[in-house]
Amino acid sequence: METGKEEESFKAFLRKIQGLGSKFSSEVEGIKNSLEHSTVALYATKKWEKKVLDELSGSIRKIDDLIERYEYNTSQSDPESLKREKESQLDEIITNCVQQIKEHMARFKEGEEIPEEKNNGINGTQGFIPPEDWLKTAEKNVKGKLQVTAPNMRYDDLEPPLKRCLLFLSVFPKDAVIKKSSIIYWWIGEGLVKPNKVQTAEQAGEQCFKMLLLNGLILPISKKHDKKARCCKLHDGVRDMLTSQVKEAGLCFKNFSSKMPTEKTNEDDKRPISYLAATTNEQSVMVSLEHSSNEFLSLFNISAQYLICDSNKFSEFKSIKILQLGRWQVCSDHHIEVADTKFLESLGVMKNLRYLSLQGISRITMLSDSLVHLTNLRILDLRACHNLETLPTGIGSLKHLTHLDVSECSLLDRIPKGLSSLSELQVLKGFVISRGITSDSCRLKDLAGLKKLKKLSINIARGAKANDDLMELKTFDTLSSLTITWGQVTETPSLEISLPNLEKLDLQCLPQLENLKGLKSGGFPKLKRLYIRGGKLKSLNPTMTETEPWHVDTLRLKFLSELELDEWSNLERTFPSLAYVEIYKCPKVIAKPLREGNILISEEAVWEKNNEGGWIQM
């Protein structure tokens, strides 16, 4: 993972503000020598100091606008010209600010009358600053203001819903890299982002995330060569500011932490979870509380890795809305283990629960049937529960469920038929096409009635015959994203499917398929992103015979040891709208879009098309 250029722009922004303070200081030295030490000058100090701060606030906003314009205006063909323009305007803003300060001071030096009501305060002893110190004090106040102005101003400019979304991020540790999906799911569970006539709750969350990025309040982190930020972190200054704003906003976050507890204390009776420190010195569980009742509303596992959960305590969480016990960290190596799963039987009392995450927790083999009583549940995240073998047969009672993630649950070999009655489901990850089909197993055709389903990922189990099931995909008109992963199967996969609204297609571990003959562009009129990762694919060329062009603009080819591509022009004819190509560990691909001709591509290569239609290697 690497930080995006926006982090550098934010640092540059802070440097500009500090530079503004330095320039102000040097100008003050010049003004200082020209002033008389008098009560008039003392009063002038108080008045112009406020004006200085007002001027600086306005200037900082202008500076911020210039930097944002520079970083996000991608239509500029000459970025260096825009940079020079930005620097010129920035210098002009600072110069004007200092000039106005000088002019204001000069008016008092020339004997401008002091208002009578202010005169008494100055001549009195209370709060009096000695003449030799007044300018130094004013300068210190102004420079101190500069240190906190930028984050606070950005925060103050946000709409109230965005402020609240941002405040919830203050609970994460310093420098923590946070997955975007975890953040958005939390917001949805808290009710901070809601669906409307034109957006799902997830889309509203995506928009909030983007707005916080654009305002520089969260820093984007993305994988190498990935344009989209899949994760983020808080700048230290922003995190400190948020910590001070939490109570003012009416939120109450309580952190339960401990260093290798050796004996029970009174505090242990208040802990929602007991845990043992193993690989780290300190682990913690964050809880948000209701001020009036002191009841738990959210329980968020910040860093606890070994959980000993008390069923009796869990049965008291009748008002809780968020239960994030699982992994939110980006690194999949972050291990979480639960000593006893009996606490899951207490889930049924949590009637208000909207978000449940057990992601990455080992030793959970099954979920209690009490889960079916969570009729308000929106999001169920079971990703990477590697020991999970079965889901409750009554899962169909979760009528408000919009997101279900059972991906990377390698022992899960069937999906209950009740899943087909979840009419609100929008995201389903990890649907299993199994080898053995039973009467109570959910088949792909059973999901055809889920008219709100937008994202679907399918795992084809080892030995399963899936072609008949895949043919049913033609009825999934609402799908915008589809991922199919094949296990070790004996039949040749059929790709003769048609999805009119699909925008992203991700094919993984394609077995016994040398080309994409069954994949027709006419069946995917809106497809923009095509990813093919792993398998025996040898050629993309058969698609060239089609009369309808592909509209794919992003192509990712990875781990294709047999794929051959010797002419870049063939690739562009197949995908005439192509603007981004990533090739990784495809040793037989030798084509590249450079004038020197075809040369062997190294292990990884990424190209992006520029505004002139040429290709640039990233």
Residues 6+ apart with CB under 8 A from 139: 24, 25, 28
For residue 68, is pLDDT > 50?
no
**Helix 236-245 and helix 160-167: axis angle, to 10°?**
110
Report the distance separating Cα 301 and Cα 285, nearest Å: 5
CA–CA distance, 174 with 177 (Å, rounded to integer): 9
Query: Per-residue pLDDT for 185 more than 80?
Result: yes
Tokens representing 376 are 């308000």
357, two tokens: 């995450």
Q: Highest mean pLDDT range out of 232-241, 425-434, 459-468?
A: 425-434
Alpha-carbon separation of residue 389 from 379, 413, 435 (angstroms): 20, 7, 15
pLDDT digits (tens, 9 = 90+) for 463-497: 888 888 888 898 999 999 999 999 887 677 777 88
User: What does the pLDDT look like over 1-32, one tens digit per residue?
Assistant: 544 444 455 455 555 555 555 555 555 555 55
Task: Please give the CATH architecture assigned to the domain spanning 160-243.
Answer: Orthogonal Bundle (1.10)
pLDDT at 522 over 80: yes
Question: Average pLDDT in the 86-107 region?
Answer: 57
Residue 409: is its pLDDT beyond 90? Answer: yes
Percent of all residues in the chain with a pLDDT value above 90, rounded to a whole number: 33
- Mean pLDDT, all residues of the chain: 76
Residue 355: strand, helix, or coil: strand
pLDDT top residue among 350 and 596: 350
Q: Look at residue 241 and tell me whether its pLDDT is greater than 90.
A: no
- Please report where in the chains the tokens 């992601």 appear, as a residue: 359
Domain boundaries, the chain: 2-154, 160-243, 492-618
> pLDDT-derived band of residue 72, with 50, 70 and 90 as boundaries?
very low
Confidence of residue 533 (pLDDT cuts 50, 70, 90): very high
- Asked if residue 127 lies in contact with residue 43, where contact means CB atoms within 8 angstroms, the answer is no
Q: What is the enclosing helix (H) or strand (E) of 605?
A: strand 604-609
59 or 604: whose pLDDT is higher?
A: 604
Q: Comparing C-alpha atoms, which of 48, 1, 9, 10 is closest to residue 27? A: 48
The larger pLDDT score, comparing residue 37 to residue 307, is at 307
Phi, psi of 506 (to 5 degrees): -125, 110
Q: What is the pLDDT of residues 246-295, one digit of tens each?
A: 877 777 777 766 543 334 455 545 555 443 333 334 455 656 655 455 56
Give pLDDT, residue 303. Answer: 84
The pLDDT assigned to 60 comes to 54
Residues 48, 101: contact at Cβ < 8 Å?
A: yes
| H helix intervals, 110-200 | 116-123, 131-156, 160-167, 180-190
